[in-house]
Amino acid sequence: MSNLTKSQRSVLLGSFLGWSLDGYDLVLMLLVIPLISNLFFPSGNTTFSLLATFAAYVVTLIMRPVGGAFFGNFGDKIGRKKIMIVTILGFSAATFSTGLLPTWTMVGILAPVLLVALRFTQGFFAGGEWGSGAVIAMEMSSKNSRGLLSGILQSGYNFGYIMASVVYFFIMSSFPESQFTEIGWRIMFFSGMIPGLIALFVRFKMKESETWLEKYHQKKIERTPVRKIFSTGEGRKRFFLALVITAGLMYSYYTTMGFFPTFLQGYVNVSKSEVPALMIVATTTSFFGQIFAGYASQKIGRMKVLTLFAISAAILAIPLVSGLYHTTSFYERSLYTLALIFVATSGFGPIPAFLSERFPTEVRNSASGLTYNGGLLFGAWAPLIAISMLSLKGYLTPIALGVNVLIGSLVVILGSRINPETKDVDIQ
C-alpha cells in the first residue's frame, strides 16, 4: 500500500467508497425487512409478508445484471470515471428516496409499487457501480499488488454493511419500536447520502484509467462491447465459465449475509438487541476474510483460494448452522457466526482481480460487470429459498441455511476447477 501513488490511492478510495455505499443500502433493507414488512405488505401471514418484502429486495439484485451490462457498455466506450460519477448519483438518490416512501396505510397499493420501483432503480445503478469501480482499480494496480488490492476493494461492501449495522444499532437504541416503524427506518435511508456525497467528491478528483486511455488514443475502443463478448466462441466461454464462480459465491453470500438478520430474529429467536452485535461480528469477519483471501490469492493463486474456501464451507456449513440454531449463549453464537461467515464469504476477495484479468480492456468493464452481477440471477433467490425451506417445520429447520451454503459451495468448487489461473496475467 505504501508504494501506491496519490492517483492510485484516489482511485482505490473512490471505488471502495462506492462499493461501501452499495453494501450500506442493500444491508439497510435486510436489517429493516423484519420490522417494516407489514408497512408495505400487510398480511396476517408473517411468512407471506417476509416473502413479499424479500421479493422487492430480489428485484434490486435481479436488476443489477441489466445495470452492469448497460453502464459497462458505456464504461468501455466513454471511460470508467464518468460512469462511476453517474452510478453513485443514481443509487444515492434511490437510497435517500426510499426514506420518503409512503406506507400502505397512507396510500394503499401504491406503497409497495413505489417501493419496488425504487428498488428497481437502485439495482440498475448499483449494477453499473461494481464493474466500473473494480475495473479501474485493477487497471491501475501492479501485478504483484493486484490480489491484495482486490481483497481490499471487495471488502468495501462489508465496510458498508458494518456502517449500516452500527447505524441500525444506534437508531434501534434511540427509538422505541413504535417510533422506529414510524421514523427510525426512514432516518437510516436518509443517512445513505453521507457516504454517497463523500464518494462523489473523491471521484470528481480522481483520474481516468491509463489503461483505458491508451486504448482510446490508439482508437481501439469497441463500439458494441456487450455484443463483442458474445460474438466469439472464446468470449462466450470466458463469460459462462466465470459466471459459474460468481453464481456460487452469490448464492452462499445471500444465504448467509443476505438472510442472516431475518434468520437470527425469526428462526433462532435472538433478541433484537443482539442482532446488530452479531451482524457486526459477521461483517467484520467477512471484511477481513476477503482481504486475507485476496492477499492469499496473490501467493498461491485465485483458483486455489476459491477451492479451499469452498471446500471448507461445504464441510462446515451444516454443523455450524446447526450449532448456531441450538445454542443460547451469545459467545457461542458469535463463534459459530464468525466461522460460518469466514468460510462462506471470504472467497469473494480475489474476484475483482480474477474478472479483470480474464477479459481484455476493450470489453473489461462490460464483461466484468455482467459476469459479477449475472451471478445474482442464481444467488438472489437464496433468501426466498431459505424462507421456503425454513417454513417446513421439523428436522430441516436447523440445517436449512447450511444446506443452501453447501449448494453454493459445490458450484464454486466446480467453477474453480473449470476456470484457468490468472494471477500472472498482464492487464493490457
Task: Label residues 276-310 b or e (16+ Cβ within 10 Å = b).
Answer: bbbbbbbbbbbbbbbbbbbbbbbeebbbbbbbbbb
What pLDDT score was predicted for residue 50? 66
pLDDT band at 41 (very low <50, low <70, confident <90, very high): confident
Q: How far is CA 4 from CA 145, 276, 424, in A?
A: 10, 35, 20
pLDDT at 32 over 90: no
Q: Which residues contact 261 (CB under 8 A, 6 or more apart)?
A: 30, 31, 33, 34, 275, 279
Q: Model confidence over 92-124: pLDDT tens digits?
A: 999 899 899 998 889 888 888 888 888 889 889
pLDDT at 195 over 80: yes
Q: Which residues contact 355 (CB under 8 A, 6 or more apart)?
A: 134, 242, 367, 368, 371, 372
Q: Model confidence over 344-393: pLDDT tens digits?
A: 999 999 999 999 999 999 999 999 999 999 998 888 888 778 877 777 66
Q: Which of 384, 419, 273, 402 is nearest to 341 (CA)?
A: 402
Q: Where are the domains of the chain?
A: 9-205+232-418
Options 3.40.309.10, 1.10.10.10, 1.20.1730.10, 1.20.1250.20; CATH for 9-205+232-418 is: 1.20.1250.20
What pLDDT score was predicted for residue 406? 94
Q: Model confidence over 292-342: pLDDT tens digits?
A: 999 999 999 999 999 999 999 999 999 999 898 888 899 999 999 999 999
pTM passes above 0.75: yes
